[in-house]
Amino acid sequence: MLVGLSEPDDAAVYRLDDGRAIISTTDFFPPVVDTPYEFGAIAAANALSDVYAMGGEPLLAINLVAYPDGLGLDILQEILRGGAEKVRESGAVIAGGHSISDDEPKYGLSVTGVVSTANIIRKAGARPGDKLLLSKPLGTGVITTALKRGLASSAHIESAVNIMSRLNRSAAECARLHSVRAMTDITGFGLAGHGHEMARLSGVDLRLNFEALAWLPGTMTYASRAIFPGGMERNREYFSRWLSFPDRGDANNEALLFDPQTSGGLLMSVAAESAANLLDDLRQNGDDAAIIGDVIDGTGNLIVYGA
């Protein structure tokens, strides 16, 4: 076992031989959007992301389904179709699954991937002087909460769906090409939570430029009205001890750093001399990426400026 329970990481990694290792991960959740097909695609992209975050490629996936008795099977068919098409896009295959009866629909995948032992990318590994890049804009938690409250515009929902259903495949390929030292995907703990995990495991601090962060259309508007998911407050209660705002920005801006993401982008730490080329390649491959900060000496804290 190369990566297991000893320290938190994005997936388990088990060595097969001197050159290859298996990646294993799972994720599922209730609907975050109203359209069954889009929900299936988003849930699949989210589950596949942990394989990409470790520097690997998915091989096969197993469907995980919870579905209410009496709800039309046409809805379930669309959920599964969305997931299957996203898995096919990744180059992997659906190889089975399991379903149970539940009061609320839930869907996701158990994913098996493969990675060269020389190319495993963990959360640990960031070094002082590195640059930090993020491959997707933030704000999915705010947008989907606005949707649940009937307040989100169709254009804002469409942008969020496009981002959440986008695979991190090309971003992971760029990370391997440019020898990214540490990487994780931004999901339920938000940028602050997952950033802290990278910082702590690497034995460094992360310095983030708030003005460099990209936000989904509508995010700042809804945040100004304090439209946040419940998970934001739970994240803030736990992770705020490791986050500081020397300039003391707007309270809603601070809250956005704890916004739980669904199928978020890859946070990468890379040598400073490689950052510009990595950014160019990410953008050429269609990722709305940005350089969002740098790595400094420290003990696991996040220092945010420009807010």
pLDDT digits (tens, 9 = 90+) for 33-74: 999 999 999 999 999 999 999 999 999 999 999 999 989 999
Residue where a domain stops, chosen among 119, 148, 176: 119
| CB contact at 8 A, 132 and 267 | yes
284 lies in the same domain as 212: yes
State the residue range of the domain holding 271: 131-305
301 lies in the same domain as 176: yes
> What angle do the packed helices 36-53 and 154-164 form, to 10 degrees?
40
56 lies in the same domain as 153: no
Number of domains in the chain: 2
53 lies in the same domain as 161: no
Residue where a domain stops, chosen among 119, 140, 160: 119
Domain assignment present for 79: yes
The 10 Å Cβ neighbour count of residue 101 is 10
Average pLDDT over residues 14-34: 96
103 lies in the same domain as 156: no
Q: What pLDDT shows up at residue 145?
A: 98
Average pLDDT for the chain: 96
Rounded to an integer, what distance in angstroms lies between the CA atom of residue 156 and that of residue 271? 35
74 lies in the same domain as 194: no
Domain assignment present for 261: yes
Domain assignment present for 32: yes
Rounded to an integer, what distance in angstroms lies between the CA atom of residue 68 and that of residue 23? 31
Average pLDDT over residues 7-21: 93
Whole-prediction pTM: 0.96
DSSP string across the chain? --BSSSS--SSEEEE-SSSEEEEEEEEEES-SSS-HHHHHHHHHHHHHHHHHHTT-EEEEEEEEEEE-TTS-HHHHHHHHHHHHHHHHHHT-EEEEEEEEE-SS-EEEEEEEEEEEGGG---STT--TT-EEEESS-B-HHHHHHHHHTT---HHHHHHHHHHHTS-SHHHHHHHHHTT-SEEEE--TTHHHHHHHHHHHHHTEEEEEEGGG--B-TTHHHHHHTT---HHHHHHHHHHGGGEE-TT---HHHHHHTTPPPSS--EEEEE-HHHHHHHHHHHHHTT---EEEEEEEESSS-EEEE--
176 lies in the same domain as 292: yes
Q: What percent of the chain has pLDDT over 70?
A: 99
Backbone angles phi, psi at 5, to 5 degrees: -90, -5
- Residue-wise pLDDT tens digits, 258-286: 999 999 999 999 999 999 999 999 999 99
Q: What pLDDT shows up at residue 67?
A: 97
Which amino acid is present at 49? S
Binned at pLDDT 50, 70 and 90, residue 158 comes out as very high
The partner residues of 266 in beta bridges, in order of sequence, read 185
Q: What pLDDT shows up at residue 6?
A: 83
- Residue-wise pLDDT tens digits, 173-208: 999 999 999 999 999 999 999 999 999 999 999 999
pLDDT value at 23 more than 90: yes
CATH number at residue 235: 3.90.650.10
Average pLDDT over residues 147-160: 97
Domain assignment present for 4: no
149 lies in the same domain as 269: yes
Q: What pLDDT shows up at residue 264?
A: 98
Residue that the structure tokens 């389904």 belong to:
65
Domain assignment present for 115: yes
Q: What pLDDT shows up at residue 8?
A: 82
158 lies in the same domain as 210: yes
Rounded to an integer, what distance in angstroms lies between the CA atom of residue 228 and that of residue 81? 30
Q: What pLDDT shows up at residue 149?
A: 97
Query: Could you write out the three-class secondary structure of 18-39?
Result: CCEEEEEEEEEECCCCCCHHHH
Residue where a domain stops, chosen among 119, 145, 162: 119
pLDDT value at 248 more than 70: no
Average pLDDT over residues 284-304: 97
pLDDT value at 109 more than 90: yes
Rounded to an integer, what distance in angstroms lies between the CA atom of residue 144 and that of residue 280? 30
Q: What pLDDT shows up at residue 251?
A: 86
Which tokens in the block code for residue 234? 């739970």
